[in-house]
Copies of this chain bind each other. A is one copy, B any other.
Amino acid sequence: MPETPSFQSPTGTRDFYPVEAARRRFITEAWRRASILHGFEEVDGPIFEHLELYTVKSGEEIVADLFSFTRKGAEKTYALRPEFTPTLARLYATKANSLPKPTKWFTAGPFFRAERPQRGRLREFLQWNVDLLGDASPAADAEIIATCVSLLRGLGLTAQDVRVKINHRKALAEWLTQRGLPIDRQPALLKLLDNKGKMPPAEFAKEIAAFGFAPEQAEVFQKGLIRVTIDERTPTGAPADTVVDVTYFSEAITPLARELAAAGVLDWVDFDLSIVRGLAYYTGMVFEVHEASGAERAIAGGGRYDNLVELFGGPPTPAVGFGMGDVVLALVLQDRKLMPEDPKLMEVAGQRPDVFVLSNGTPEAEAQVKPLVGLLRARNLHTRHTYRQTRNVGKLLEEAVKLRARFAVIVETGTTATVKSLETGQQTPPVPIPDVAKLVGG
């Protein structure tokens, strides 16, 4: 054999040592909790799908961004899933007749993109998807946004840390038409708006002028805020000089704003003319969640896609949903010091020991350590013992403290042990070994 090869994880993928795995679980459990609070049920599909599931939705140009593969002798091409929506549409289309109305589903798992990795973007990442199918109402749009806000709030973020930026594709198109921009030129403008963050303001102003907008209108797109009137209330953060004519938006957005107010999340929301979302399939409300300073990529994004289920052979089905990746979210949490410190993280992940068992070092006591460990584990207690040779009680108690065990149990004889709380320091007198379990919560 030649020299031992150097083994590394593939570019853009991650190894998860215990702290990183606990951090991942901290995020995925928060996703799960927010989903369940709002009555969404978990679903999932395969990690790889037939390639055509993605080309049907996104066209052949998506193939370059996918990890795809074939099997020798098989006619099918597979691809690692880059997103969940096509799988979701397939799941729904397959059982549409027997599913509840509305159907509320979430999923969280690994997804893959064959792009060059960069800050906030990896080749393998986790994504949370939340979708509500079978309800075309603004209340459904609001429920999706409220679920996203529940997640953000549940992690300790506030409406000052992050903003939910909402727009409406249909209303935007009507407004642009009314201002004289022909429908066939609108996709180019949407693309320009979508790239706004990536270009200098002067260049953006110049390009927007080419669509027939005056400089002060360019500024409106730049700042992007729409005034929405609900019961005389102006949305948070919309200075008067950046407000545009609302005629074409009020019909689309005011009912949504009312629902967001009823759900208690309107304070998190800006109505922003410049949010378009890259994907072509959105048909109504679209939104993105951004760190307030605009420092990172979008934390989440989604919207209404009323035509997609039909594309996958299902009945016409209104649908609204969003996706959130783990990478940008973790950057924002770390930046705001909301990611727990390592020991706390292990505890949140359920990995803090309940009990550490040791003996006073006599042979008859030592012989009882392993049986007691087995007994406590059979009672569902996370139980540890030393792997070191030492029988020094002081050193072993130090090990228990370092592991952050809640209790130390010191076997004193062949039949008795004392229980010491490592949180209060209190210690029991010797008790019969079979009584230990209930003293430590088992």
Shortest C-beta distance, A264 to chain B (Å), equals: 4
Closest to A100 in B: B387
Measured in the bound complex, the distance between the Cα atoms of B346 and A374 in whole Å is: 30
Closest to A21 in B: B42
Which single member of B41, B71, B150 contacts A114 (CB below 8 Å)?
A: B71
Q: Separation in Å of the A48 CB from the closest CB of chain B?
A: 6
In the complex, A18 Cα to B103 Cα: how many Å? 11
Q: Which residues of B contact A50 (CB under 8 A)?
A: 7-8, 10
Residues 263-296 of A at the B interface (beta carbon under 8 Å): 263-265
A102 part of interface (Cβ distance < 8 Å): yes
Nearest CB to that of A356 among chain B residues?
Answer: B39
> Across the interface, which residues of B come within 8 angstroms of A382, CB to CB?
36-37, 39
Kindly specify which of A166-174, A189-197, A325-333, A347-355 makes contact with the partner chain: A347-355
Q: A37-B383, A387-B101 are contacts. A264–B43 as well, Cβ < 8 Å?
A: no
CB <8 Å contact, B46 and A124: yes
Q: Which of B5, B124, B378, B387 contacts A52 (CB 8 A)?
A: B5
Q: Are A37 and B264 in contact (CB under 8 A)?
A: no
Task: From known contacts A18-B42, A56-B5, infer whether A146 and B374 are also in contact, taking CB-CB under 8 Å.
Answer: yes
Q: Which residue of B lies closest to A379 (CB)?
A: B37
Chain A window 63-104, contacts with chain B (Cβ cutoff 8 Å), 1 for yes, 0 for no? 010011101100010101000000100110111000001100
Residues of chain B within 8 A (CB-CB) of A349 are 42
Q: Which residues of B contact A262 (CB under 8 A)?
A: 370-371, 374
1/0 per residue, CB under 8 A from B, across A156-192: the answer is: 0000000000000000000000000000000000000
Q: Which residue of B lies closest to A78 (CB)?
A: B10
Q: Which of B36, B350, B373 contacts A351 (CB 8 A)?
A: B36
Cβ contact within 8 Å between B71 and A44: no
- How far, in Å, is A422 (CB) from chain B's closest CB? 16
A313 sits at the interface (CB 8 A): yes
Report B-chain residues with C-beta under 8 Å of the C-beta of A24: 44
Partner pick for A43 among B17, B45, B67, B114, CB 8 A cutoff: B17
A10 and B90 contacting across the interface, CB-CB below 8 Å: no
Q: What B residues does A80 contact at CB under 8 A?
A: 47-48
In the complex, the answer to whether B39 meets A16 with C-beta atoms within 8 Å is no
Asked if A223 CB lies within 8 Å of chain B CBs, one says no
Q: Tell me if A9 counts as interface (CB < 8 A to partner B).
A: yes
* B39–A384 touching, CB < 8 Å: yes
Q: Who on chain B is nearest to A70 by CB? A: B69
Q: Using an 8 Å CB-CB cutoff, how does the interface string of A124-154 with B read, 1 for contact, 0 for none?
A: 1000000000010001000000100010011
Interface residues of A in 10-68 (CB under 8 A from B): 10, 13-18, 21-22, 24-25, 32-33, 36-39, 41-50, 52-53, 56, 64, 67-68
User: What are 29 A-B contacts with C-beta separation under 8 Å?
Assistant: A4-B312, A7-B52, A7-B53, A10-B76, A15-B46, A15-B87, A15-B91, A15-B94, A16-B44, A17-B91, A18-B41, A18-B42, A21-B42, A21-B43, A21-B44, A37-B377, A37-B381, A38-B377, A46-B124, A47-B110, A47-B112, A48-B67, A48-B112, A101-B387, A154-B380, A259-B370, A262-B371, A263-B370, A265-B374
The 3 closest A-B pairs by CB, nearest first: A13-B46, A69-B69, A264-B374
Query: Besides the contacts A7-B93, A15-B87, A47-B112, what 4 more A-B pairs have beta carbons closer than 8 Å?
Result: A10-B78, A15-B46, A16-B42, A48-B124
